[in-house]
Structure 1
Amino acid sequence: MNETAELDLARRILAAQPFSVLLGARLTAFGDGEAVLELDIREELLQQNGHVHGGVLSYAADNALTFAAGTVAGPRLLTAGFTIDYLRPAEGDVLRAHAQVVRAGRTRVVVRCDLRTVTGDGEPALCAVAQGTISVPAAA
């Protein structure tokens, strides 16, 4: 399967997730151990102080981690766990979660993710980092 076909398949998988559709998430890159998930920052995604809610950042990290793992381990994966560190309030126009595989094993894939907000002028600001372990279930 070529890169374009892989990205199209990954986008169909994302579109099959009702919560991702609700948030307006989109995959902008998928392949070679990496995935980039983006969503537009809008008022409904903010907390009381005007910053992107931590749950939205966690969602973006979780999904980007799993999609990056999918580039090396296939589509039938489950998040085993992840940690996230919030570095600064997330403010901007777009939230971008860029995940990269650290190590791919037979049953587990370790992935890290940088979450940045991007303003209208294109200036990215690192707001959180995450690392997770993605489980590769045994074939049925």
Structure 2
Amino acid sequence: MTELSLGAARQILDSQPFSGLVGARITEFGDGDAVLEVDVREELTQQNGFLHGGVVSYAADNALTFAAGTTLGPAVLTGGFSIQYVRPASGRTLIARASVVHTGRRQAVVRCDLYTADDTGTETLCAVAQGTVLSARPT
């Protein structure tokens, strides 16, 4: 396990220009888990008013890598991931909850469940993702 803190994870996220553009924030980080949130706003939606699938996919990708970073260290890259959209994402906040399923010396397998929360805080599953995150440490 690494000794990265929630504060350090927030600094890393803040250094990503695209994350700033969508307004992402990390609310939990440590022990193989990470939670990333994005407030739903009109400019992040598609033509039918739902949160754009690219934003949902972005949240899954970043949550997967941050969760893996808790076990592999801060130098990680997404090796690949798949996402299944369960239902259209609508609500107030997108919540991506990622957990490491397995960590080896150089890679981690991570699962992410994505929910939208409405104004009352009720959460609805909108997508699930699983991916492989690779350590970018020099060998």
Which bin holds the TM-score, normalised by the shorter protein?
over 0.9
2:19 counterpart letter in structure 1: S
Q: TM-score, normalised by structure 2?
A: 0.96
- 2:4 matched to 1:14? no
Determine the structure 2 residue equivalent to 1:125: 124
| Alignment size in residue pairs | 138
In the TM superposition, residue 106 of structure 1 has moved relative to its aligned partner by: 0.8
Q: Note the 1:9-48 alignment, pairs <5 A.
A: 9-48=8-47
Displacement of 1:137 after TM fit?
2.5
Q: What runs of 5+ residues in structure 1 fail to find an aligned partner?
A: none
TM-score between both structures, scaled by the size of structure 1: 0.95
Pairwise CA distance, 1:107: 1.3
* Secondary structure at 1:127 match in 2: strand
Helix, strand or coil at the partner of 1:92: coil
Across the aligned residues of Structure 1 and Structure 2, the Cα RMSD in angstroms comes to 1.4
Query: Partner letter of residue 10 of structure 2?
Result: R
Aligned to 1:116: 115
1:138, distance to aligned residue in structure 2 (A): 4.0
Q: Distance in 2 between matches of 1:116 and 1:137?
A: 29
Q: Identity across aligned pairs (percent)? A: 62
Contact 2:75 2:137 (C-alpha < 8 Å) held by counterparts: no
Match of 1:85 in 2: 84
Indicate whether 1:52 and 2:51 are aligned: yes
Q: Structure 1 counterpart of 2:91, which letter?
A: G
Please state whether the residue corresponding to 1:132 is helix, strand or coil. strand
Distance of 2:137 and 2:6 partners within structure 1: 24
- C-alpha distance in 2 between matches for 1:94 and 1:113: 16
Residue 84 of structure 1: how far off its partner (Å) = 0.1
Q: Distance in 2 between matches of 1:138 and 1:53?
A: 33
Q: List structure 1 segments (4+ residues) > 6 angstroms apart after TM superposition.
A: none
Q: Which amino acid aligns with 2:72?
A: A
Q: State the distance in 2 between where 1:87 and 1:6 align.
A: 32
Q: Which amino acid aligns with 1:69?
A: A
